[in-house]
Chain A
Amino acid sequence: MEYKILKKDQIIKLYNDLTKDYNFFAPIKEKRNIVFRKITNPEEIVLDYLNSKVPPKEILFPEKDILFEYKINDNEIELEEPKNLNEQNIIFGIRPCDAHSFVLLVNFFSQGDFKDEIIINRRKNTILIGIGCNTPKSTCFCTSVEGNPFQKDYMDVFLVDLQNEYLVEGISDKGKDLIKKLSWLADAKEMDIEKAQELKKQAEESITTKLDLKDIDKILDPNFDHPIWKEVSETCIGCGTCSFLCPTCTCFDVIDENVPNKNRGRRIRIWDTCQSCLYTLHTSGHNPRNSCIQRVRNRILHKFCYYPENYGMLGCVGCGRCVQLCPVNNDLRTIIEKIKKIEPKREEKVSA
């Protein structure tokens, strides 16, 4: 395996080399938050961040995404495919949990008879140059959900911050090819690799939340009507922050957006949340999930019961955004701890 070294002041060179062929997305500071943006000035890149507020899933699955465009001339209607689907992207500086979420996104949108080629194509055309988390946040729990602060399997190229420079490792074939093109990268020394190992160990140890999620779906499934759902939803105000900012949430609404005073427009999808009562409201007024209890339960069950049942993996990557950003401090980790404490139902004794 070949390791390279990228000096911190060489990021500009890296950007200049790659931006000819790729849209270069990177974390920058915008309104005091870290966000992933297609950048034009590499000096804006911020890599010593804990995590972005809005996950980079918005590059694959934008908050507002065109499904098709239309033109209406009298009664003749023309429909056009969304454009720019074949553009090549690089996401620079993505964190392991968010790269993990891309696996879940692509898995979900590839299911069944109807594939979402819009998202599948974007992923195919995107190279991930990720970076390990030397100092995970207090809300991080990736190690409980099959992840790791130095999880590199879902990246194309993986970086480790060695303070003055980055250790660069090609992971996928795409990533290895990319590194070959960057022939000016210096070779790494044995001690750089050892230092990265040490940082990995420190990072893993710094994550104190340890949730045992093995077979959690088997606890959740029979406890759909357990009183715990009332308890854990009591303070929820249904704002939907937890799901809008979740890197694995995929729900969307569809609307037709007409260009004012023009005979054209586009059908778009926009992020939606199962935490809103409108989400399931029928036109008739009937609402299958009318209460906050049902909606909170649906979110938890979706990630930790339905997703594992349907696809054999957890629907959470442990980024901790829902924990950190909930306005009423509802903590997913606490909810899971409570669920884990549910006593298994005793077999009812039947006597003749």
Chain B
Amino acid sequence: MPNPYIPMLTKIKTVVSENKVNDIKTLELVFKKEEDLKSFDYNPGQFAEISLIGKGECPIGIASSPTEEGSIKFTIKKMGTVTTGFHNVEIGDTVGVRGPLGNGWPIEEMKGKNIVIIGGGFAFSTLRSLVVYFLDERYRNNYKDITVIYGNRDSGEVLYRDILEEWEKRDDINVVLTIDREEEGWTREVGFVAAVVKKVAPSPDNAIAVVCGPPIMIRTAVAELVNLGWKDEQILNSLEMRMKCGVGKCGRCNIGNKFVCIDGPVFSLAELKKIPNEY
């Protein structure tokens, strides 16, 4: 078995600045070795440990979908040493990748169900992966109605604008975009995500909801779903924790007897209620 701490090497193919403030960028990476590309067989919702050799490593959710073949994408907010390093890279630079890691969204269990995807802020990356996967013509028929509710502080913070506009044009997905306050030229919803959830009122019948975002948004949005009759088993979250190894060894991402890196990051609300509130 190979050393699980040695990354595969990739090169940066494209860099896209995702927001007006320019502190969120999406890097597209291509593997240097064909066999590494093949071994990187992932599901939406999984993550990878990506590194700048000599600077360090950090866990980032995979923003691309496995249906987008040939490259992988990561959306990175400039936060600390390594992520700032990622904001200073150039096309062609080398990036180390270890993964795919974690359980990912349960795309098999979600088959035959109505899907409600609720996201806030830059936590939308693995949701992008999930929606792109669902909308692929090979898989779209496996799932019923798909609703996406995506909220941001202001219009400048909305990620993946091009692809969101494409989704809005389609008739097999309902996309609801919202920002916190009114803005000139903004024609979509205005208000917090929870309020929009209440307004859209997705039915819990034969449905699964995926909720990702800042803690306050998760709490309020989940409360609205519960009001609408949703059960804890139907609501999925993806957790973030400080991680080093990503493979269940370095210890720090434990919540009770679970490790977020290998037992998660995706947990249902029912599962979260069984473990300590240390996340």
Contacts and interface: CB of A to CB of B under 8 A. Distances in A.
Contacts of A75: 92-94
A115 B250 contact: no
Contacts of B7: 79
Contacts of A111: 248
A114 B94 contact: no
Interface residues of B, number: 41
A330 interface: no
Interface stretch (B144-152, B200-208, B228-236, B253-261): B253-261
Interface string B236-279: 00001110110111111011110000100000000000001011
Interface stretch (B54-62, B66-74, B166-174): B54-62
B54 to A, nearest CB: 5
B176 interface: no
Contacts of B51: 256, 267
A116 interface: yes
A267 B5 contact: yes
Interface residues of A, number: 51
Nearest to B240: A282
A206 interface: no
Most buried by B among A255, A267, A306: A267
A272 B252 contact: yes
A118 B252 CA distance: 20
Contact of A251 (B1, B55, B251): B251
Contacts of A144: none
Contacts of B4: 114-117
B54 A283 contact: no
Contacts of B6: 67-68, 79, 81
A349 B7 CA distance: 56
B79 A252 contact: no
Contacts of B79: 283-284
A256 B250 contact: no
Contact of A250 (B9, B83, B242, B251): B251
Contacts of A76: 94
Contacts of A280: 241-242, 252
B278 A294 contact: yes
Contacts of A283: 79-80, 83, 242
B203 to A, nearest CB: 32
Contact of B249 (A109, A282, A284): A109
Contacts of A301: 256
B159 to A, nearest CB: 17
Contact of B257 (A253, A284, A288, A309): A309
Given A224-B276, A283-B79, A288 B255 contact: yes
B54 A252 contact: no
B226 interface: no
A294 B96 CA distance: 34
B278 A255 contact: no
Contacts of B83: 283
Given A116-B249, A250-B251, 18 more contacts: A70-B53, A72-B54, A77-B96, A79-B96, A113-B247, A114-B4, A115-B1, A116-B4, A254-B245, A256-B55, A256-B57, A272-B252, A279-B252, A282-B241, A283-B80, A306-B254, A306-B257, A309-B257
Interface of B: 1-7, 9, 51, 53-57, 79-80, 83, 92-94, 96, 215, 240-242, 244-245, 247-252, 254-257, 262, 276, 278-279
10 closest residue pairs by CB, A with B = A251-B251, A114-B247, A306-B257, A67-B5, A114-B4, A283-B79, A283-B80, A254-B244, A309-B257, A288-B278
22 contacts: A67-B5, A70-B54, A72-B54, A77-B96, A112-B262, A114-B248, A115-B4, A117-B1, A117-B3, A252-B245, A252-B250, A252-B251, A256-B51, A269-B5, A272-B252, A280-B252, A282-B241, A282-B242, A283-B80, A288-B255, A294-B278, A310-B257
